[in-house]
Structure formats: C-alpha cells, structure tokens
Amino acid sequence: MIKDRDFIVFSDDWGRHPFSCMHIMKRFLPQNRILWVNTVGMRLPKLSFYDLYRSIEKMGSWFGRSTSREELPANLTVISPVTIPFNNHSSVRRFNRLSVIRAVRKEMIRLRIKEPLFLTTLPTANDYVGAFNEVVDVYYCVDEYSKWPGALKEMLERMESDLIRKVDLIVATSEELQRANRSESCPTYLLTHGVDTEHFNKAKNLVPHPLFDTLKKPVIGYFGLIDGHVDLGLLEFLMKEKPEWSFIFIGPVKVDIDNLKRHKNANFFPPVSYLDLPKYLAGLDVCILPYKVNELTRYSNPLKLKECLAAGKPVVSTALPEVMKLKEAVRVALGKEEFLVQVSDALTRPFNRTCAEKVLQGEDWSIKAEKMSGYIEEAIKRKVISQGRLPLGLREELKGAR
C-alpha cells in the first residue's frame, strides 16, 4: 500500500454519504495525509426543498460548521472553499478557481504539503490541475455526470475532455466509463466498486430495526437516493400488483413521489447512518435496484448491489450493464412483469449465499484500495522516468549528502 504521501482530493463532500472515493481513501489514511476539498456541484440549483437544504448546508460549511456525520479520522483535513454554483458563467468560474486555489494553497502551507498527489472524481476539478505542484494527477471516474438531469452538459463534457488530456492516470468504475474516457497519453484502468464485507455481513445475525415491527411481511426494500435514475413507474406497478407486500425506501428524495405515497404499502424514511444500515438490511426479505435502463444509467455501477449481497439478501435488479456481470448471484429482470415475477420467486426460493460469497471474493474495499495504490505508484514511476523528475524525499536526501 502506498505510504508517506500527501493527497489533495476533490470529490463529493466528505461524510455526507458513503461513496467509492471515500471508501478508497479511508484505506489510505493510516499511512498517508489527505487534504479533502469540498467544492461546488455540477448542476444548476432549482427551487426545491432539497436544493435549498443543500445550499444552507454548503454555506454552513464555509464558516466551519462540519456537515459530516462522523468525526474526522487522523491524517484527514477537510476544507470547503467559498464557491458559487453557476460555473457556466466565465466570471463565476474565475472566482471559484481563485477561491479554491487560494484556500487549498493556504492549507498546504499550514500542513507543510509540498508535492502532493492530486486525485479527483469531478470533471470540474480540471480547473485546478497543475495549481499545487503535484507529482501526479489522477482522474477516478465514477459516473457520467454530463448525463445527469440538470447537469451543465456542454461545460462538463469540455472540462472532462480537458481533464483527460491533463492527468497521468484514469481509473474508471465501469466498463462503459472505461471505454468513454480513454486517453492517448495515459492508461485507463477498470476498478469496479467494492464492498465493506465485514460491515454488511453483520446483517445476517442482527435483530432488525424496530421499525420493521410495524410493517406487514414480506418487506421489499431499497436504500439510497431516489432521483431521476429510479424507475418510479416500475415501483408504482409493483405496489399496485402486490398490495399485501410492504415496500420500504430509505434515503433522500429529489423527485416527485406523490403517486407512490398514495399507496398504503409504501413506506418512506429519511437517510440512516452507514453504521446503522445493517440493522435495516436485516429486516428486508428482498432488496431491489429499480433503475431505469437508459443513456443516464448505462455507465452506472450500483454501489449498493454488493452491499446487499454481502448482507445475505436476494437482489432483483433491472438490466444495467454492470449488474449483468453478476447475474449468477443477482436476479435480473427485463420489464415490469418480469421484475414482479423475479421478486415473487426470490420470496419463495432459498437465497444462494454460496454463490453470492463467490461473486464477492476479491471485492472488499481493502483489496480495491491496494489496486488503486498500485496504479498510482505506477503512474509516479512513469512520470519520473518520462520527465527525469526525482521525488521530493530523494532530492532532500541527496542535498543532505552534499
């Protein structure tokens, strides 16, 4: 595992929800320092409760109020530079660039960071590549953000194209992303999402959360963000066809779900902490991944898929490309009727835990972090060889020997 390095990371806000970059970097933290930068989003805000809440949350972070649901681990520093969510305007983009670079450089001086490794999951971080005397630049490509509803499509496509030309390494979480983000100047590796096996295995032996005491069995569940990725029509069909089933949804909602709420068997709950998730998974009879299959989702690699399998729960999903790779352990449905049949079948037949465990071999986040570490160390060596640039530590050793 890579060690004794300083990282500057541009990604989703630390601690707001569990995501792949956070899982990877947590494995780096014991032996490396990380300066994590929370920055502006990639779509224009709307007049909605969700966006209003996020704006208040973001402004609070500017003044030092942490939005993290957990205490920061050792070796991690998180900053939230002042940024404005209208990056499509050149004057705003210039302001954001100056604000972010100034804030990061100030923190680098305080932490005595001289030659960091730069890693980003965000195309918008293109504006900061090369600003911090970094050793290598890494693009950890986790989604096709330009396809998201409300995204600044043309701007994001240009920024991502520029970013791909600048970086020294690209790591993609799905084959579709790997194909779409190849570079002529550096390798693009595939590193699919992992799973915290030990954490989710707990669900097999836990007593379900008390809220399940009030729900009629069987319980069909989904946890995560409900947004444009989710097929609301499919969910309404399932609820109509099976009024005797309970459907539980845990997570934030960004779309209109009034039609779903009309059904008595629909139960919506706010997000729960990552630490408590196994208690909720323990109460589910079947986990569902009801995503639309379209241009928006074909790049996706659902993080929760392996988490459900590790929890020992049968999973029924729509036919996303990355899900199809694991179809020996997942029930894949084409269309609403088949989805209903697959859920019904999952309720009546024993779940093949042996098959699920086989699929999850080598998928733990610790193993994924080791692979990412290897890719980064290779990139450092390539750059040293191509530029004849000695790493800082070795240069200081040579100076001391004179």
pLDDT, greater one: 45 or 372: 372
Q: Provide DSSP, 93-151.
A: HHHHHHHHHHHHHHHHHHHT--SPEEEES-GGGGGGTTSS--S-EEEEE---GGGSTTB
Q: State yes or no: pLDDT of 292 exceeds 50.
A: yes
Least confident of 81-85, 223-227, 259-263: 81-85
Q: State yes or no: pLDDT of 402 exceeds 70.
A: no
Q: State yes or no: pLDDT of 139 exceeds 70.
A: yes
Distances, alpha carbon 72 to alpha carbons 69, 75, 346, in Å: 9, 9, 40
Residues 6+ apart with CB under 8 A from 32: 2, 3, 4, 5, 6, 7, 75
CB count in 10 Å sphere of residue 100? 24
- Listed residue (10, 30, 112, 103) closest to 392, CA to CA: 112
Q: What is the pLDDT of residues 345-363, one digit of tens each?
A: 999 998 998 999 999 999 9
Q: State yes or no: pLDDT of 93 exceeds 70.
A: yes
Least confident of 70-74, 232-236, 352-356, 381-385: 70-74
Q: Provide DSSP, 16-64.
A: TS--HHHHHHHHHGGGSEEEEEE---SB---SSHHHHHHHHHHHHHHTT
Q: State yes or no: pLDDT of 228 exceeds 90.
A: no
List 223's β-bridge partners, or say none. 250
Contact in structure between 251 and 226 (CB atoms under 8 Å) = yes
pLDDT interval class at 64 (50, 70, 90): low
Q: State yes or no: pLDDT of 62 exceeds 80.
A: no
Least confident of 20-24, 256-260, 295-299: 295-299
Average pLDDT of the residues in 217-232 = 94
pLDDT at residue 393, rounded to an integer: 52
Q: State yes or no: pLDDT of 270 exceeds 60.
A: yes
pLDDT at residue 276, rounded to an integer: 95
- Listed residue (167, 40, 41, 32) closest to 111, CA to CA: 32
pLDDT interval class at 67 (50, 70, 90): very low
Counting residues of the chain whose pLDDT is more than 70, the rounded percentage is 88
Q: State yes or no: pLDDT of 231 exceeds 70.
A: yes
- Listed residue (104, 139, 96, 95) closest to 119, CA to CA: 139
Least confident of 314-318, 334-338, 354-358, 398-402: 398-402
pLDDT at residue 390, rounded to an integer: 57
pTM beyond 0.95: the answer is: no
pLDDT interval class at 79 (50, 70, 90): very high
Q: Max CA-CA distance within the chain?
A: 80
Going by CATH, does the domain composed of 197-358 fall within 3.40.50.2000?
yes
Q: State yes or no: pLDDT of 249 exceeds 80.
A: yes
Average pLDDT of the residues in 61-66 = 48
Q: State yes or no: pLDDT of 200 exceeds 80.
A: yes
pLDDT interval class at 103 (50, 70, 90): very high
Average pLDDT of the residues in 156-185 = 93
Decide whether 6-194+365-401 matches 197-358 in CATH topology.
Answer: yes
Q: State yes or no: pLDDT of 43 exceeds 70.
A: no
Q: Which residue has the tokens 């790997």?
A: 178
CB count in 10 Å sphere of residue 374? 13
pLDDT at residue 401, rounded to an integer: 42
Q: Provide DSSP, 79-96.
A: E-----S-TTSHHHHHHH
Distance, first Cα to last Cα, the chain: 31
Helix-, strand-, coil-residue percentages of the chain, each rounded to 5: 45, 15, 40
Contact in structure between 347 and 309 (CB atoms under 8 Å) = no
Report domain extents, the chain. Answer: 6-194+365-401, 197-358
pLDDT at residue 391, rounded to an integer: 54
pLDDT at residue 9, rounded to an integer: 97
In CATH terms, 6-194+365-401 corresponds, of 3.40.50.2000, 3.40.980.10, 3.20.20.150, 3.40.50.1000, to 3.40.50.2000
pLDDT interval class at 263 (50, 70, 90): very high
pLDDT, greater one: 388 or 331: 331
